[in-house]
Amino acid sequence: MVSKAASETLTEAAPPPAADGKYLDSNVSGAAKILVVGPLGVGKTTLIGTVSEIRPLSTEASMTRAGARVDPYAGDSGKKTTTVGLDFGRLTIDGDLVLYLFGTPGQQRFLPAWQDLAKGSLGALALVDARDLTASFDALGNLEDLDLPFAVAVNVFPTGPRYDADDVRTALDLLPDTPLVICDARDRASSIRALIALARHLIDLATESS
Ligand SMILES: Nc1nc2c(ncn2[C@@H]2O[C@H](COP(=O)(O)OP(=O)(O)O)[C@@H](O)[C@H]2O)c(=O)[nH]1
Ligand SMILES: [Mg+2]
């Protein structure tokens, strides 16, 4: 559980990777299972690999031209693999709050895997690609169906448009209190800021309802 005490100690400084990269710090007093969701190619696997203090677990499979009928990136340049099970990583914030990060597959046909991964999770970071906001609708809809609180992180790609936050909120039909941040999934500090925005939101919700 994320405690109120943890809320008071959250800072935006990126913690250094754990010294041995393996064991939890003995000061850890709270834990949260967090989903990282979003459409294919939005940067979920990248973000978990960027922030994880342990070697991330990934389940990448090659994308081939044969898959182009169902996966838009198959056969395209650049992205060569896709997540077919999950990504897993761990991040300790401020030495006492540990986030267990579970990345979902991006395609809606993997919804049953999503539903399993969502069990016991406290919230989700929904990654959005500004080049195609509509591609995020399925993921956001799934979160609403699961009644899972979330924060939205717009992962910035160089060729993507730069929208005002209010326009993104409107396009995605976000509630006023849903956090919206800009991030670069390849940058550790930026990705951690997005996760901290989510953690703060979850703590606020837990505090309000207690
Ligand atoms: N320019 C840019 N490229 C990114 C960013 N995040 C991910 N990528 C690249 O986009 C591709 C898709 O990332 P991946 O993490 O596999 O997406 P996933 O399908 O959501 O897990 C990879 O080639 C990444 O290197 C980003 O923030 N900026
Ligand atoms: Mg992936």
Ligand nearest to the CA of 183: 1
pLDDT in the model for residue 174: 97
**Averaged pLDDT score across all residues of the chain:** 88
> Can you give the residue range of the structural domain that contains 162?
4-208
Q: Which atom of ligand 1 is nearest to the CA of 87?
A: 21
- The residues that bridge with 83 in the sheet, in sequence order, are 60
The answer to whether residue 16 scores a pLDDT higher than 60 is no
- Structural domain count of the chain: 1
Shortest-distance atom of ligand 1 to CA 40: 19
Q: pLDDT tens digits for 28-76?
A: 889 999 999 999 999 999 999 999 999 999 888 888 877 777 777 655 5
pLDDT in tens, 161-185: 999 999 999 999 999 999 999 999 9
Helix 137-146 and helix 111-118, axial crossing angle in degrees, nearest 10:
40
Report the interhelical angle of 188-208 vs 44-51 (nearest 10°). Answer: 90
Pocket of ligand 1 (CB under 6 A): 38, 40-46, 78-79, 83, 106, 155-158, 184-186
Six token digits for residue 97: 């709050």
Provide the whole-model pTM. 0.88
At residue 169, the pLDDT reads 97
* pLDDT for position 11: 62
Q: Residue 204: pLDDT band by 50, 70, 90 thresholds?
A: very high
Separation of CA 135 and ligand 2 centre (Å): 15
Using the mean position of ligand 2's atoms as its centre, give its distance from the Cα of residue 60 in Å: 7
Ligand nearest to the CA of 84: 2
Res 85: pLDDT = 83
- Taking CA atoms only, the protein residue closest to ligand 1 atom 11 is 41
Mean pLDDT of 128-133: 94
Cα–Cα distance between 159 and 103 in angstroms, integer? 24
The Cα 136–Cα 158 span in angstroms is 19
> Which domain CATH number covers 93?
3.40.50.300
pLDDT at 18 over 80: no
Is residue 98 within a helix (H) or strand (E), and if so which, with residue range? Answer: strand 97-103
Ligand nearest to the CA of residue 136, numbered in listed order = 1
Query: Nearest C-alpha to atom 19 of ligand 1 is from which residue?
Result: 41
Residue of 37, 42, 46 to mutate, ligand 1, most atoms within 8 A of C-beta? 46
* Percent of the chain surpassing pLDDT 90: 65
Q: Which atom of ligand 1 is nearest to the CA of 184?
A: 27
What mean pLDDT comes out for the span 101-127?
Answer: 94
